[in-house]
Amino acid sequence: MKRLLFIILLVGLISCETGNVDPAVVDFGKFTMEMPKTWTTTIQQGYDSFVGQIETDDNQIITFDLGWYSDRLNVDPNTHDIDVVIIDNKRAKSVKPKNLDPGTTGIYFDSLETTKINKFQISGINLNSSNQKLLMRAAKSLEFKD
């Protein structure tokens, strides 16, 4: 009985880690991404790129930039996990703090098309562990429009 109660509590705690998030596919015009319905988006004025921000439920900020000079998310490999991932059939760099510590969490694409001109990054700095996980989940759903 104790074992069953422990398992139920453990599953409950794990599922609460990122909450029961109700996702929605958001169309940003140049790309789509599935993210929590409660996150709000703002498109900002960019001079040479398409930029905006996403605000989480607890007012943490995630930014994105699609253009020639997007941040490459160069982080310290001693404090961050850096991986290559495939999203929307494109190679991307994934960065996140080790052990869900403070730091940069995000995805960077060095090129989105055959001309290799446009780059894209989406990232947040010092996100809490729940938002780190939600951002990475959302980023993996990115689909770019031609």
Within-domain flag for 3: no
- What pTM does this model have? 0.83
Q: Give the DSSP letter string of the chain.
A: -HHHHHHHHHHHHHHHSS----EEEEE-SSEEEEEETT-EEEEE--SSEEEEEEE-TTS-EEEEEEETT-------TTTEEEEEEEETTEEEEEEEEGGG-SSEEEEEES-SSTT---EEEEEEES--HHHHHHHHHHHTT-EE--
pLDDT for the residue 20: 65
Within-domain flag for 18: no
Within-domain flag for 17: no
**Residue 28: domain span:** 23-144
Within-domain flag for 11: no
pLDDT for the residue 19: 56
- Identify the segments of the chain with pLDDT beneath 70: 1-20, 114-115
- CATH number of the domain to which 134 belongs: 3.40.1000.10
Within-domain flag for 115: yes
Within-domain flag for 4: no
Number of structural domains in the chain = 1
pLDDT for the residue 10: 43
Within-domain flag for 1: no
pLDDT for the residue 48: 84
Within-domain flag for 16: no
Cα three-residue angle 29-48-107, rounded to 5 degrees? 60
CB atoms within 10 A of CB 93: 18
Q: Which amino acid is at 106?
A: G
